[in-house]
Structures are given as C-alpha cells and as structure tokens.
Amino acid sequence: MEENNIKLTKLAKCAGCGAKVGAGVLSQLLEGIKVHHDPNLLVGFDKSDDASVYKVSEDLALVQTVDFFPPIADDPYTFGQIAATNALSDVYAMGGEPKLCLNIMAIPESMPKDAVHQLLRGGYDKVYEAGALITGGHSILDDEPKYGLCVTGFVHPDKILTNAGARPGDVLLFTKPIGIGVLTSAAKADMASKAGMELATRMMTTLNKSARDAMVKYNVHSCTDVTGFGLLGHLCEMAQGSDVEITLHVDAIDLIPESLELAKMGILPAGMYRNRTFAEPWVDAGDTELCKQDLLYDPQTAGGLLMAVDPADADALYAELKGVVPSAQWIGTVAEYQGGKRLFLR
C-alpha cells in the first residue's frame, strides 16, 4: 500500500523546468570557455537555441538535445511522460523528427521498484508515441529523483528552424496555454484545483509533434519551444537572436484563468522571478496588469511551440493549428528593431 502513497514532488526542491539554471547565469557560467568551430556544426550552444544541429550530408542533419529535471508530478508514470514530452520538444522546435533516445535517471535508493518502473514506462510510452526509440541510458543514485532524455533526431539541413530567424512582418503563433508553472507550484501547497492540475498534466503530456508537423508545411522562419525561461524569456532570445523587436497582443494570449487568480495571490514559483530578472530590461510592459506580466514570465514545462511565420502563410497555418494543437493563438507581430526595448506588451 505504501507504494501507492509515494508523492514524488515532495522529494524535489523545484518543479520541472522551474529547476532550470537562469538564462543570464548560464551565459556567465560559460564565459571564457573556448568554443571550437566546425563548418558542419550548423547550430551550437553559443546560439542559446533548443538543440544543436550537425550536418551529415547535403540532405541530412542530426539534431541533438538533452533535458531532465526533478519530479513535477506525484505520479511516477505521469512524471515519466512529462519529462519525455519535454525532452522530445526541443527536436520538434528545430523542425526535426526525434528518432533515438537515451534515458537519464537519478533515483533515491529507497524509491520503490514499481515506482521506478512506472516512471520509465511513462517515458517509453511517450517516446513510442513520437515514433522514436529508447536505445539505452544511464542511471545513478541520488537523494532527489530526476528523469529525462537525451534525444537525437533528423532534419533536412535547409529546413532547420532556429530561434534566430524571425523577420520583420512575421506573425507569431503559439500552441499551448500559459500558466503551467504557477499551477504545479501551487500544487505543492495543495492550492491548485483538481481540474487545474488535470489541465496542466494534459498540456505537459501533449507532444509538440502535431504542431511541428503542421508548421513544416508552411513558410515558418523561426521556432522555439516555450519552457523554463517563460514566454517572455524565450521571446527575448528570439528577438535578440533575430535582431528584431516584437509586439505582443496580451489579450490574445491564452492565460489559464486559475493561474491568473493564483498569481494575484502571490503563488508564484521562484523561476518566474529569475525569468523576470533576465528578460525585464528588454520588455516595455505598457499598462499590462502585474498578474498578467507574471504569467508571461512563468516557467513552462513542455510548453507549446512559438513560431514566427511569413505573413502570407499566417492565416493558413493558424487555421490548421486550430484543429491539431491544444490552444492555437495569434499572439503578436515582428518588426524591425528600432533600438532600446525589444518586447512590447500591448
């Protein structure tokens, strides 16, 4: 009976992508380390992109990424599914298709065998749903459980979607609601409703495969998945990488109503404040309410795909996304950089 009562999140200090080292901190940690270049390395870690891309031949490039984190759900099977959905997402965000995966797992010695088995089963199920394989992995003992995957996928070298390709005039589309970090943080204090947690879990276990499959049929210039740095953190990276500025229509963004109420009560994860510190210098928030701003910085786990699409294709892609993603949103437009702030909330 004891095995059914295991509450994984109680074993973790931070939840999911909220455990990510802040974007600003990461660049400090990497400062001064020599970067080796290779003409076939099309996307490397110096670009702060979702995955690295290495050109193998004229029509084939490898996409590689790794992602793991402490439990974001109490149920091991659910946690395994979420971690896999999140890790696979980085390949989708590059326009690629995941194929080979390796498990990365840390488990406390005391964790019941069945719980570990369920965790792994969750990972395998999602990977199979994605049409990919788990070919092995590595496990260590640790006080705090952690799980994730190293994922290798394929993409045509001319069809890579980085977060640095947005062009003036592009339309920004997004595919999942925002506020997952607030809900999972609230759940740690039993302050999230059952319906709220069901929604968060459903979002975190929905692959970005359908979004990717729709996206690659259109003239999309840039893409990234919204995860630990929050919508504004990832938008900031896109705006800086593409040297453009972006106007966001805040009312067009699907902010989960319960998360908004929780934000008003100050139930916000530490990762939100880290994201705010990183991106806020680039944000002109206009007269956007504080609670809405907070949600735009909320760290998402396995969040949606953010796409900058050519305006000529925007209507058609938006219409197609509506049928296949949890929440298709037309959230903003890209413009030429005028200097100063890069993100404008209107």
Partner 1 sequence: MVDARGYSCPMPVVMVQKEVKKNAPATLEVLVDNQCSVENVTRYGMGQGYQVKVTQEGQDFRLTLSK
Based on the shown chain and the rule CB under 8 A, indicate whether residue 269 belongs to the binding site for partner 1.
yes
Per-residue binding letters, 10-29, with partner 1 (x by CB under 8 A): ---x----------------
Based on the shown chain and the rule CB under 8 A, indicate whether residue 249 belongs to the binding site for partner 1.
no
Q: Which stretch binds partner 1 (CB under 8 A): 114-122, 128-136, 184-192, 312-320?
A: 184-192
Based on the shown chain and the rule CB under 8 A, indicate whether residue 266 belongs to the binding site for partner 1.
yes
The correct pick among 29, 243, 273, 311 for binding partner 1 (CB under 8 A) is 273
Based on the shown chain and the rule CB under 8 A, indicate whether residue 197 belongs to the binding site for partner 1.
no
Q: Are 91 and 209 in contact (CB under 8 A)?
A: no
**Tokens of residue 302, six digits:** 């396995």
Q: For 227, which DSSP code?
A: -
Q: How far is the CB of 70 from partner 1 (least distance, A)?
A: 13
Q: Are 298 and 179 in contact (CB under 8 A)?
A: yes
Binding footprint of partner 1, residue count (CB under 8 A): 17
Residue matched to tokens 């209107």: 346
Cα 327 off chain centre by: 15
Report how far residue 94's alpha carbon sits from residue 145's, in angstroms, rounded to the nearest whole number.
29
Instruction: Specify whether 17 is catalytic.
Output: yes
The correct pick among 58, 189, 195, 339 for binding partner 1 (CB under 8 A) is 189
Q: How far is the CB of 9 from partner 1 (least distance, A)?
A: 12
From first CA to last CA, the distance across the chain in angstroms is 53
Q: In what order do the strands lie in the sheet with 329-336?
A: 220-225, 305-309, 171-174, 329-336, 244-248, 343-345, 283-284
Based on the shown chain and the rule CB under 8 A, indicate whether residue 319 belongs to the binding site for partner 1.
no
- Sites of contact with partner 1 (CB under 8 A): 13, 185-186, 188-189, 191, 263-270, 273, 290, 294
